[in-house]
């Protein structure tokens, strides 16, 4: 019979591990995707709960795994709350926009309001997840006003847009400071020590590679375009988009403009994994709980490998899906062939088409969830080094679970989250 001192990992270990097997996660995701479709979406609350249980309980920090004890029914109730709030809001925005003379103003106001609500939702959803996260019998907690956060976030995003992304590092640092400053594990207060300037310096070369070609394109356009003539044409022609495409994109400067746009797009595509590596390392390395400090040694080669594998899976899936598509086209053609002109066969053809589309979209999403989201979670967890983890052993419990309203809003507004 086992004895006590042969048990488990050594106390005071400073490691973060991920124990979950990818095969189990594939099964969880595929089964979930099928049921989400079969229930027209209702099952997504159960799937989200299963996914979190799996990810949390397989993440081991200093010898103990996390625990997620949220319930799918809580998410469902949160969603219903959100619907109760959003339906009248959408209606009000639609009414004001349709009835008023200041259509653009009220539309913009509605957009700001929804943006504010989206950030509010993200903050409250984080609170829900934290208060459902248990470690060594003690829960995490988040305080702070979600409205204060939403206003801050919206102001920062406005600044990010105005500075073409240059404000992003400081925005992230400020918002993370707000979030982590209001986060605690039991009586152990959290904080964020990442520096916006540091992230700025790391990201600046990438910014030049992405925005530089755009600047060249815009400069070329403004130098070669006759704006008076263009505005006159716009005033005389209903086809605004057509005129703009003809005269700006395909205008005399197209030899410079199009390659610049292409270069910028290619830079985004090629640099995204590097960007993700840098921001993830920076974020993890800024996390603090009392005397516990995290650091990440995530390598960019690992992240590129994740995306390469994803691209490979997508290629294979595309081959399989096209083969299935060809078969379906033949089946539909046979169903709709001459002499088979009846409603049931048409319905069958429609159903086959929609089903194929749904399977393809769901397949892409599932592959992404496993090959990218799951892989990044695992990589990030394994990249963490803890200092001062001993402080985790004498934390006193505090806090209480919060409502799932934020989760519901996040779901209804479609602003994302795990």
Partner 1 sequence: MLTGTPAFASAFAVPRGPGLFFDGKSSARIDVWVEITETGLRILSVDRSVLGEWPFEVLRRQSAPEGVLRLGRSDDTVLARLELRDQALIDAVEERADALDRTGAAERAVRRKVVLLSFAAMASLMVSGIFGLPVLADRVIPLIPLSAEVKLGNAVDKQIRSALDTRHLGQAFQCGQAADETAGRDALARLVGRLETAAALPLSLRIEVVRRREPNAFALPGGRVYVYEGLIDEAQSPDELGGVLAHEIGHVARRDGTRTVLQTAGLSFLFGMMLGDFVGGGAVVIAAKTVLRSSYSRRVEGAADAYSVALMSKAGGDPRALGVILARIVTDDDEGIKILSDHPDTKDRINAINAAEAPAGTTPLLDAADWSALKQICGPLPAGRLPGNGPPMKVQGHGATPHP
Instruction: Kindly identify the residues of this chain, within the stretch 145-204, that bind partner 1 according to CB under 8 A.
Output: 186
The answer to whether 22 contacts partner 1 (rule: CB under 8 A) is no
Q: Cβ 332 to partner 1, closest distance in Å? A: 9
Q: Which residues pair with 60 in a beta bridge?
A: 17, 65
Q: Are 310 and 367 in contact (CB under 8 A)?
A: yes
Q: Give, in order, the Cα–Cα distances in Å from 200 to each of 40, 85, 107, 282.
A: 43, 38, 34, 11
Pick 22 or 237: Cβ nearer partner 1? 237
Contacts of 415 (CB under 8 A, 6+ apart): 118, 121, 122
Q: 306: which DSSP letter? A: H
Site residues for partner 1, 356-375, by CB under 8 A, read 357-359, 361-362, 365
Judged by CB under 8 A, the stretch of 154-162, 168-176, 317-325, 346-354 that binds partner 1 is 346-354
The answer to whether 262 contacts partner 1 (rule: CB under 8 A) is no
Site residues for partner 1, 231-260, by CB under 8 A, read 232-233, 236-239, 242-243, 246-247, 250-252
The residue within the footprint of partner 1, chosen from 27, 38, 148, 162 (CB under 8 A), is 38
The answer to whether 2 contacts partner 1 (rule: CB under 8 A) is yes
- By CB under 8 A, the count of residues binding partner 1 is 88
- The span from the CA of 240 to the CA of 207, in Å, is 31
The answer to whether 407 contacts partner 1 (rule: CB under 8 A) is no
Q: Cβ 209 to partner 1, closest distance in Å? A: 30
Q: Are 118 and 413 in contact (CB under 8 A)?
A: yes
Q: Are 184 and 398 in contact (CB under 8 A)?
A: yes
Strand order in the sheet with 67-68: 67-68, 133-135, 138-142, 183-185, 188-192, 287-289, 292-296, 384-387
The answer to whether 226 contacts partner 1 (rule: CB under 8 A) is yes
How would you classify residue 402: left for phi > 0, otherwise alpha for psi between -120 and 50, otherwise beta? beta
Q: Cβ 276 to partner 1, closest distance in Å? A: 21
The answer to whether 382 contacts partner 1 (rule: CB under 8 A) is no
Q: To 5 degrees, how large is the angle CA 356–CA 358–CA 360?
A: 70
Binding mask of the shown chain, residues 97 to 136, with x at each position contacting partner 1 by CB under 8 A = -------------------------------------xxx
The answer to whether 53 contacts partner 1 (rule: CB under 8 A) is yes
Between strands 133-135 and 138-142, the pairing is antiparallel
Judged by CB under 8 A, the stretch of 174-182, 211-219, 284-292, 393-401 that binds partner 1 is 393-401
Pick 235 or 301: Cβ nearer partner 1? 235
Q: Cβ 113 to partner 1, closest distance in Å? A: 18
Q: Which residues pair with 184 in a beta bridge?
A: 141, 189
The residue within the footprint of partner 1, chosen from 25, 43, 168, 282 (CB under 8 A), is 43
Pick 69 or 195: Cβ nearer partner 1? 69
Q: Is 343 exposed, middle or buried (0-12, 13-18, 19+ CB in 10 A)?
A: exposed
Q: Cβ 238 to partner 1, closest distance in Å? A: 5
Contacts of 139 (CB under 8 A, 6+ apart): 130, 131, 132, 133, 186, 397, 399, 401
Site residues for partner 1, 62-101, by CB under 8 A, read 63-65, 67-69, 79, 83, 86-87
Q: Are 209 and 222 in contact (CB under 8 A)?
A: no
The residue within the footprint of partner 1, chosen from 117, 138, 171, 199 (CB under 8 A), is 138
């Amino acid at each position: 019979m086992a004895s006590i001192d042969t048990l488990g990992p050594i106390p005071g270990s400073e490691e973060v591990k991920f124990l979950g097997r990818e095969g189990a996660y594939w099964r969880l995701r595929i089964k979930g995707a099928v049921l989400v479709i079969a229930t027209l979406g209702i099952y997504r609350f159960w799937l989200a709960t299963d996914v979190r249980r799996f990810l949390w309980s397989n993440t081991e920090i200093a010898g103990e795994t996390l625990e997620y004890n949220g319930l799918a029914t809580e998410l469902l109730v949160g969603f219903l709350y959100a619907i109760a709030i959003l339906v009248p809001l959408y209606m009000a925005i639609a009414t004001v926009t349709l009835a008023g003379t200041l259509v653009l103003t009220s539309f913009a106001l509605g957009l700001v309001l929804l943006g504010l609500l989206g950030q509010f939702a993200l903050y409250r959803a984080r609170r829900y997840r934290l208060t459902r996260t248990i470690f060594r019998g003690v829960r995490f907690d988040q305080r702070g006003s979600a409205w204060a956060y939403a206003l801050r976030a919206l102001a920062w995003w406005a600044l990010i847009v105005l500075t073409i992304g240059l404000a992003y590092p400081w925005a992230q640092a400020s918002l993370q400071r707000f979030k982590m400053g209001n986060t605690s594990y039991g009586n152990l207060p959290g904080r964020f020590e990442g520096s916006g300037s540091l992230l700025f310096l790391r990201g600046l070369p990438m910014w030049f590679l992405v925005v530089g070609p755009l600047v060249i394109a815009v400069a070329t356009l403004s130098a070669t375009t006759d704006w008076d003539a263009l505005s006159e044409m716009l005033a005389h022609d209903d086809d605004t988009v057509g005129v703009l495409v003809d005269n700006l994109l395909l205008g005399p400067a197209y030899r410079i403009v199009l390659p610049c746009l292409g270069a910028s797009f290619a830079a985004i595509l090629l640099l995204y994994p590097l960007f993700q590596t840098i921001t993830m390392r920076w974020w993890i390395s800024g996390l603090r709980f009392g005397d516990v400090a995290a650091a990440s040694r995530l390598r960019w080669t690992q992240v590129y490998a994740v995306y390469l594998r994803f691209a490979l899976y997508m290629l294979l899936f595309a081959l399989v899906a096209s083969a299935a598509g060809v078969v379906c086209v033949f089946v539909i053609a046979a169903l709709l062939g001459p002499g088979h002109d009846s409603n049931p066969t048409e319905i069958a053809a429609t159903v086959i088409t929609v089903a194929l589309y749904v399977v393809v979209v769901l397949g892409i999403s599932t592959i992404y969830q496993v090959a990218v989201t799951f892989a990044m979670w695992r990589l990030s967890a394994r990249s963490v080094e803890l200092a001062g983890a001993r402080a985790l052993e004498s934390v006193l419990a505090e806090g209480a679970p919060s409502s799932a309203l934020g989760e519901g809003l996040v779901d209804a507004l479609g602003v994302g989250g795990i």
